[in-house]
Structure 1
Amino acid sequence: MKALGWTAPYFLDADHIGLKTVDRFVGVSDFFTIDVADFIAQPADPVAVQAFVDRHPELVGTLSLAGIDRPFTTTRADVERTAAKFLLAVQEAGKVYRHIVGVKGVGRFVPEISMDETDSPQTPPELLVILAAIADEGVPIQTIAPKFTGRFNKGVDYVGDLTQFEREFNDDLCVIAHAVKHYGLPANLKLSVHSGSDKFSIYPAIRRALAKHGAGVHVKTAGTTWLEEVIGLAEAGGAGLALAKEIYAEALSHMDELCQPYATVIDIDRAKLPPAAVVQTWTSEQFVGALRHDQKNPLYNAHIRQLIHVGFKVAAKMGPRYLEQLKACRESCARNVTGNLLERHIRPLFL
């Protein structure tokens, strides 16, 4: 970063960590995505639930939030159900946060809470309850990743109702603004869109919402960069193309174990994955066409793209051999990575 002349802030993310995994990263990272999705809907202490609802009578009844044209109407039973569903997850996030503070100190890292890798989306009223609980827990989150309506599959476009997504995203921004004002959460608190790379169809809605509310957003894009590296290898031809084909073959042969951790955010049809022997015969144009996210290209294969996306461990196991080939194909890899991030992500969202 310094060699390239970058002087603005940047962070190293410990992605989707919990108490069992955080110590591997706490010494080197300064951004922590605290993943508590596994604790959602786990039974919270009934006494703690009642105490939470007693502390927050403002959540019961009719609540009008600036920017939302229809008020929320909730009963005490509604708030109790929401608290029972999410309170244990928030408490777990608090444990992880305090563990990190014990090592790094207060204010020396960015905490994010992730609730996206679960089956059911959180509604805006639920998000308000969650944020109130996070404030009670004393976690100064700067980003929060809820699960939105629709499918956010890895490396491919959004699948769902665009109008509904835009309404929910706008409502969530209003909920965050309300929570910042009333619960003392950090003023720079942002929504985080996980598996947000390549969701080109929702970027216009996000851009409109950010401009309307004067808000920011955090978009996870790491996976799309890995895919562009593989595209760069294939585009270079020769040894680069051969390595890209090997990555596909290995990912295909280990599909179950690679896909299992991402079951809620992929949708791969095995019947639409060509045999490795067929891919071995492909030209550079065929491989790149299948993998590059261009839905107008008849060669594009969203199933291959998702499989390669979750197959990054294949490259990790290759170690220096993969890294050396990246260096050998630096021009094509850099061009694809830079063009994808700037032209297809940053520019549509922010510029």
Structure 2
Amino acid sequence: MLVIEKFTFGVGDRFAHQAAAQLRAFEQLAEDGVDVAPVWNKSNREHTFVGSKPQSVYDAAKNAIETRGWNKAWHVDADHIQLATVDPFIPCSDFFTIDVADSIGKAASQEEIAAFVDRHPELVGTLTLEGLSSPLEVSKEDVQRVAEQYLLAVKEAGEIYRHIADAKGADNVIAEISMDETDSPQTPPELLVILAAIADEQVPVQTIAPKFTGRFNKGVDYVGDLKQFEREFNDDVAVIAHAVKTYGLPETLKLSVHSGSDKFSLYPIIRECLQRTGAGLHIKTAGTTWLEEIIGLAEAGGDGLALAKEIYAYALEHVEEFCAPYASVIDIDNSKLPDAETVNGWSGPRLASAIRHIQDNEHFNAHMRQLLHVSFKVAAKHGDRYTDLLKKNQEIVGNEVTKNIYERHLRPLFVG
């Protein structure tokens, strides 16, 4: 298998114009003494919305790598792929986020479930693992219930992985299994059962993305019980370490925290755990770069500001349409969305401050930010007009992109 680095960080680039600006953030972090490998990701759904192809992500990333002389690791992620969508990603990706959320809750055969339960008596009982907040109490009935919920999904992950490995060669593949886009979070005991099933399926998984308790809404901070997240995250790290030793999973296996949310309140919790345990991490902030483009265009004034206002006005007229696919990961109060006439009267800095995620700014509006986050296909409708303005205002837009990733994400997460 292709061995993943200890720390990897996923960045989205909806319109393939910000790879160099994104890479600058990783260069700045390297100057701080912390190496994190950038992972450019874009899902099939996003490609469909903007009319792009998977190869474009690789091409943009490769151009940035060569232009800036980056000599450290980097990857391109086939984000949230399934068997029906993976093939166009195989030639141009080396990181594959295998999404099996649709199969969660669909039961495998009773024979397969019974065989799994019988094969894993070590999962039953009081499990005291190093680093756990408290021992795991797992009954045989618990193992069966988790197998009924997840075994078919794991088998699907195995099928997808083997399809990729057969086509590309296992030595060229980093496998991630994603279970985060589902309704119910996976508890640490459930994660242990799932990892045992993955080992049985012989998938050399290097990152696993469970769903955590709480809300990871698009473009805004985590909403939930920070103490509960801290217990879950720390316990998941302990479970992964145990599963690596017990089931022969790759030593590089690490936890992945997904979603297009900003996770500012979680970064201190995650950073403390990584420093204490020496664990690795993969984390994604997909989508926020598109918001920084809008902020940059607003700050640029003129035609850029005019288009930013048009995009917001159109999104406002199509709230239900744009929000429907993301209903589980946004919380927008329509009464908190200013009308188009009001926004048309704003200056560029005023509009930028409403969207830019600085929570103590009196003008910050989380509802506007979430709406614009899920409205990126409006920019795609403008085609060359949008991308030409990105090129025209490359410096100011790029500075917003770099500052956001470095100052608000990478540095708080890995440096403090």
Q: What range describes the TM-score normalised by the shorter chain of this pair?
A: over 0.9
Aligned residue in 1 for 2:372: 308
- From 212, 223, 226, the counterpart of 1:148: 212
Deviates most, 270-279 or 66-75 = 270-279
- From 301, 304, 317, the counterpart of 2:381: 317
The 5 A counterparts of 1:229-268 are 229-268=293-332
- From 218, 224, 246, the counterpart of 2:288: 224
Kindly indicate whether residue 416 of structure 2 is the aligned counterpart of residue 345 of structure 1: no
Could you tell me how far apart the structure 1 residues matched to 2:207 and 2:291 are?
Answer: 25
SS at match of 2:361: coil
- From 56, 75, 78, the counterpart of 1:14: 78
Q: 1:196 to 1:125 in 2, by over 3 A?
A: farther
Q: How much has 1:320 moved relative to structure 2? A: 2.3
Contact 1:197 1:219 in 2 (8 A): no
Could you tell me how far apart the structure 2 residues matched to 1:191 and 1:85 are?
Answer: 21
Contact 1:197 1:345 in 2 (8 A): no
Q: How much has 1:196 moved relative to structure 2? A: 6.0
Could you tell me how far apart the structure 2 residues matched to 1:109 and 1:322 are?
Answer: 35
Kindly indicate whether residue 250 of structure 2 is the aligned counterpart of residue 186 of structure 1: yes
Q: 1:210 to 1:196 in 2, by over 3 A?
A: farther
Q: How much has 1:259 moved relative to structure 2? A: 2.1
Q: How much has 1:175 moved relative to structure 2? A: 0.5
Aligned residue in 2 for 1:100: 164
Q: How much has 1:222 moved relative to structure 2? A: 2.4
Aligned residue in 2 for 1:171: 235
Aligned residue in 2 for 1:124: 188
State the one-letter code of the partner of 2:185.
P
Could you tell me how far apart the structure 1 residues matched to 2:145 and 2:302 are?
Answer: 58
Kindly indicate whether residue 122 of structure 2 is the aligned counterpart of residue 58 of structure 1: yes
Contact 2:260 2:286 in 1 (8 A): no
Contact 2:76 2:94 in 1 (8 A): yes
Q: 1:9 to 1:82 in 2, by over 3 A?
A: same
Report Cα offsets for 1:148-206 as digits up to 9, x if no partner: 11111111001111111111110000001011111111111111111265211110000
- From 43, 46, 50, the counterpart of 2:110: 46
Deviates most, 128-137 or 309-318 = 309-318
Q: 1:7 to 1:61 in 2, by over 3 A?
A: same
Aligned residue in 1 for 2:175: 111
State the one-letter code of the partner of 2:192.
L
SS at match of 1:218: strand
How does the TM-score come out when normalised to structure 1?
A: 0.96
Q: 1:349 to 1:262 in 2, by over 3 A?
A: same
SS at match of 1:32: strand
Contact 2:133 2:235 in 1 (8 A): no
Contact 2:319 2:371 in 1 (8 A): yes
Report Cα offsets for 1:12-69 as digits up to 9, x if no partner: 1111111121122122111111111111111221111111111111001111111114
Q: How much has 1:314 moved relative to structure 2? A: 1.9
Contact 2:99 2:157 in 1 (8 A): yes
Identity among equivalent positions (%) equals 66
Unpaired segments ≥5 residues, structure 2: 1-64
Contact 1:155 1:195 in 2 (8 A): no
How does the TM-score come out when normalised to structure 2?
A: 0.82
The 5 A counterparts of 1:277-316 are 277-316=341-380
Could you tell me how far apart the structure 1 residues matched to 2:175 and 2:325 are?
Answer: 23
Contact 1:97 1:139 in 2 (8 A): yes
Higher RCO (Cα < 8 Å, 6 or more apart)? 2
Contact 1:122 1:146 in 2 (8 A): yes
Aligned residue in 2 for 1:330: 394
Q: How much has 1:343 moved relative to structure 2? A: 1.1
Q: Structure 1 stretches (4+) deviating beyond 4 angstroms? A: none
Could you tell me how far apart the structure 1 residues matched to 2:85 and 2:325 are?
Answer: 15
State the one-letter code of the partner of 1:70.
S
Could you tell me how far apart the structure 1 residues matched to 2:321 and 2:196 are?
Answer: 37
Could you tell me how far apart the structure 2 residues matched to 1:7 and 1:342 are?
Answer: 19
State the one-letter code of the partner of 1:64.
T
Deviates most, 124-133 or 60-69 = 60-69
Could you tell me how far apart the structure 1 residues matched to 2:268 and 2:351 are?
Answer: 29
- From 246, 262, 271, the counterpart of 1:198: 262
Could you tell me how far apart the structure 2 residues matched to 1:121 and 1:255 are?
Answer: 28
Contact 2:358 2:364 in 1 (8 A): yes
Q: 1:315 to 1:109 in 2, by over 3 A?
A: farther
State the one-letter code of the partner of 1:265.
V
